[in-house]
Structure 1
Amino acid sequence: MNRVDSSQEKKIQWLEQLVGRNLLDKMLCSFSKSTGLKAILVDNKGNTLISTDHAIKDCNFCEMIRSDSNGAKKCQRSYARACTEAAKYGEPYIFRCHAGLIMWAAPILLDQYVGSIICGQVLMWEPEDYFLEEIEEMVSGLEIDVAAVKWSAAQLEIMSSDKVQAAADLLFVVANQIMQSGMTVLKQRREITAQQARLAEEIQARKRAEIAMSTVESRNFSINSLDKEHELKTLVRNGDKPKSQRLLEKLLVDILAKAPDNLDTLKTRMMELAVIISRAVVDGGAELTEVLQLNSLFYKELQDINYPDELCLWAKNMLETFMNYSETNKIQKNQQAIQKAAEFIHRNYRNKLTIEDIAQEVYLSPCYVSRIFKQGLGCTLMEYLTQVRVEQAKIMLKNPKYNVMQVAEESGFEDPGYFTRVFKKLEGVTPSRFKQYAL
């Protein structure tokens, strides 16, 4: 892409840092090649930052207009106005440039940067005499061949309003993709800056209070770190994400205070933390093979890191990934346990069942299986057992060969009186009345 060699280069470099040069080139060129329309990136003053000249050239009409310095300035003012209007409304802005051509602008808003992708150089109607006369008035004062300009205007591509709107919408998608990529980088930078600020503040606080370190204090430092690592492992295993995140930050402060400039040492300590956290996740019930795969991915990421501040963000993301996976894994296992408990109840509702019996079937503690069953189905184990028994009783009551006492016994109710009370509470009628209606 052709770029202007001016003070605008700083803006270009800033955009490339956020979005990436390859992505900017690819997005603009792909749009131009697919639509046959030239696309340029401008700032809010109408200055062209990036252009797709090598992919799609300006039409002859525009080249002649811009060959005059005053014409080029008018184009810039048109772009600046379009950029302002597009940013104001946050959507594609279709406009008519100073020379009478139809163009459109898609806004790009990144942090303090305001700009637009501008495209067009078309007509939406057949050029008639009055239009060519209007062009003659528009270009008056410019040192160009008016007859040649009018002839070039007659050769311009004519697009319907639907196609113009569709192209503007597509350009808006391109602009949004660029903004999304830029915002992702900005967010990551802010996270790194915020985390580094917190860590730096605590490190400085420690340095202000720091006294000469003796051998005993050094040993105590190591013991304290081991205690924190053990506590972190316990918190991760129990799924306590907020406390785990706070303790990890304290450990990161310890690690950075010990070897702030030795990248290899820092990477080694980070990998040790990854091993501690991954083991805790496995102890919490996660699948070992899947945890090992995650560990392998984090190890590859770690090798590509070149700055200490990126290590801290890596550690934060590593902990969050492991804990989210552990939580998802636990939810899946809980759902399986709930399903298994429900199936066990359906198979054994006639028997005298206790919570201990159900818990033993799913290999969980009575307290834990009761809690996850209530969370998952909205009722307790015993309430669910009662519902299953009542549903079975309703089926049997519809059969003439069973009386109410037989139904109560076959449904798992030892006391016919209790059966009647429970049935009426759930169904609104007694078993006898239900049987009358059913028959």
Structure 2
Amino acid sequence: MDFKEIIKYDDLISVLDNFSYITGISANFLTADNQWVENKKKGTCGFCMLMKQYYQNGEACRNSDLAGAQTAQKKKGVHVYRCHMGLVEAVIPLFFNNSYIGALFIGQILLEPPTEEMWQEVFKKIKDQPLDIEAARRSFFNLTHIDHEKLQSVLDMMHIVAKYILDSEMIRISSLSSIEKIIEYIKNHYMEDITLDDLAKMVYLSPTYLSYLFKKQLGITFKEYLINIRLKKSKELIETTDLSIGEISKMVGIEDQNYFSRLFKKKFGVSPLNYKKDKYIYDIYKKNANT
């Protein structure tokens, strides 16, 4: 699924842009399936762009980012760390109904002005790589640097941004879109063993929240909706085929025929067997009336 289906993309870009503009620090978002949503105003720092393009084919940067996101996800809280080049980055994970939906990244930055000594440590790592060393040096000395006190203020603002994103429901599939997809799936797979957990994974929602959406938008629970679909189909099969009640019960995904019969009678006011008999009598009457 394209991450733009679960993110209000333009709204998120606007938030990231404003955060970057106010703080002077790049802010980006990594989705749960590891796709980047990057701010447009500041983008990624020049030094990091060079590293991602030319240092170890970008693998070191990707591994560092993924490790940072995974640690933040496990901690369920902000994670501040140094990347493989010694730059500081902060990550805050976002959860919606206990489901991890991605992480906000800020950085990379330095906590003190860049020095020749710091550059030499970087140079040792990149000197044999196929990149423009002089361009890397210039971009390194242009890195944003802030002190620890300002970093804490930035992190506090980052928490506010994260809360705003969640409270405004900026990141999640729209309720209507989720239910429409689930309904379509149920109509095509009602005869299979369908669980709420499986459906929730399909639309990147927690089972609890998906259950809430069903009740809110359809007025019934997921289980009730699935049973209604199965009973409606069974009624059609009784009307249009000569299959036995047991065969029909299994065809609509209900293995226990007695349970199926109870559900059918509760829904239509008559047992499936009697409904079948009534249908048979009606067919004979209709046939005779037409002769």
TM-score after normalising by structure 1: 0.40
Match of 2:3 among 12, 30, 44: 12
Contact 2:92 2:104 in 1 (8 A): yes
Structure 1 residue 131 displacement after superposition: 0.8
Give the 3 Å change call, closer, same or farther, for CA 138–210 of structure 1 in structure 2.
Answer: farther
Give the 3 Å change call, closer, same or farther, for CA 192–129 of structure 1 in structure 2.
Answer: closer
Match of 1:94 among 48, 62, 80: 80
Structure 1 residue 175 displacement after superposition: 2.0
Match of 1:145 among 104, 119, 132: 132
**Which structure has the larger Rg?**
1
Q: In structure 2, what residue type is equivalent to 1:76?
A: R
Contact 1:135 1:150 in 2 (8 A): no
Structure 1 residue 69 displacement after superposition: 6.0
Determine the C-alpha separation between the residues in 1 that align with 2:130 and 2:69.
Answer: 28
Alignment of 1:248-327 (within 5 A): none
Structure 1 residue 93 displacement after superposition: 1.3
Determine the C-alpha separation between the residues in 2 that align with 1:193 and 1:22.
Answer: 28
Match of 1:131 among 106, 113, 118: 118
Q: Show CA shifts across 1:293-323 (max 9, x none).
A: xxxxxxxxxxxxxxxxxxxxxxxxxxxxxxx
SS in structure 1 at match of 2:6: helix
TM-score after normalising by structure 2: 0.58
Give the 3 Å change call, closer, same or farther, for CA 74–43 of structure 1 in structure 2.
Answer: farther
Structure 1 residue 80 displacement after superposition: 0.7
Structure 1 residue 169 displacement after superposition: 2.3
Give the equivalent residue in structure 1 for 2:56: 70
Alignment of 1:92-241 (within 5 A): 92-110=78-96, 111-180=98-167, 181=169, 189-194=210-215, 195-197=220-222, 199-200=224-225, 203=228, 204=231, 205=263, 206-207=266-267, 209-210=269-270
Say which is worse superposed, 120-129 or 174-183, in terms of deviation.
Answer: 174-183
Determine the C-alpha separation between the residues in 1 that align with 2:160 and 2:270.
Answer: 55
Give the 3 Å change call, closer, same or farther, for CA 118–71 of structure 1 in structure 2.
Answer: farther
Determine the C-alpha separation between the residues in 2 that align with 1:149 and 1:38.
Answer: 18
Q: In structure 2, what residue type is equivalent to 1:116?
A: A
Q: Show CA shifts across 1:83-139 (max 9, x none).
A: 012112222211111122211111122354352111112211122232111011222
Say which is worse superposed, 184-193 or 86-95, in terms of deviation.
Answer: 184-193
Contact 2:114 2:140 in 1 (8 A): yes
Determine the C-alpha separation between the residues in 1 that align with 2:128 and 2:152.
Answer: 33
Determine the C-alpha separation between the residues in 1 that align with 2:160 and 2:212.
Answer: 27
Give the 3 Å change call, closer, same or farther, for CA 196–171 of structure 1 in structure 2.
Answer: same
Contact 2:3 2:35 in 1 (8 A): no
Structure 1 residue 198 displacement after superposition: 5.5
1:81 correspondence with 2:81: no
Q: In structure 1, what residue type is equivalent to 2:18?
A: S
Give the equivalent residue in structure 2 for 1:28: 16
Higher relative contact order (CA 8 A, sep 6+): 2
Give the 3 Å change call, closer, same or farther, for CA 25–59 of structure 1 in structure 2.
Answer: closer
SS in structure 2 at match of 1:77: helix
Say which is worse superposed, 137-146 or 196-205, in terms of deviation.
Answer: 196-205
Q: In structure 2, what residue type is equivalent to 1:127?
A: P
Q: Once the two structures are aligned, what percentage of the paired residues are identical?
A: 20
SS in structure 2 at match of 1:126: coil
RMSD across aligned positions (CA): 3.0
Q: In structure 2, what residue type is equivalent to 1:192?
A: L
Structure 1 residue 179 displacement after superposition: 3.2
SS in structure 2 at match of 1:117: strand
Determine the C-alpha separation between the residues in 1 that align with 2:49 and 2:41.
Answer: 16
Aligned length: 198
Give the 3 Å change call, closer, same or farther, for CA 199–40 of structure 1 in structure 2.
Answer: same
SS in structure 2 at match of 1:148: helix
| Structure 2: gaps (5+ residues) | 176-204, 232-262, 273-291
Give the 3 Å change call, closer, same or farther, for CA 200–209 of structure 1 in structure 2.
Answer: farther
Determine the C-alpha separation between the residues in 2 that align with 1:69 and 1:209.
Answer: 72
Q: Show CA shifts across 1:129-178 (max 9, x none).
A: 32111011222442112233123212222201111121122122222332
Q: In structure 2, what residue type is equivalent to 1:15?
A: I
Give the 3 Å change call, closer, same or farther, for CA 190–141 of structure 1 in structure 2.
Answer: farther
Give the 3 Å change call, closer, same or farther, for CA 25–76 of structure 1 in structure 2.
Answer: same
Say which is worse superposed, 133-142 or 193-202, in terms of deviation.
Answer: 193-202
Q: Show CA shifts across 1:214-260 (max 9, x none).
A: xxxxxxxxxxxxxxxxxxxxxxxxxxxxxxxxxxxxxxxxxxxxxxx
Determine the C-alpha separation between the residues in 1 that align with 2:89 and 2:27.
Answer: 10
Give the 3 Å change call, closer, same or farther, for CA 139–210 of structure 1 in structure 2.
Answer: farther
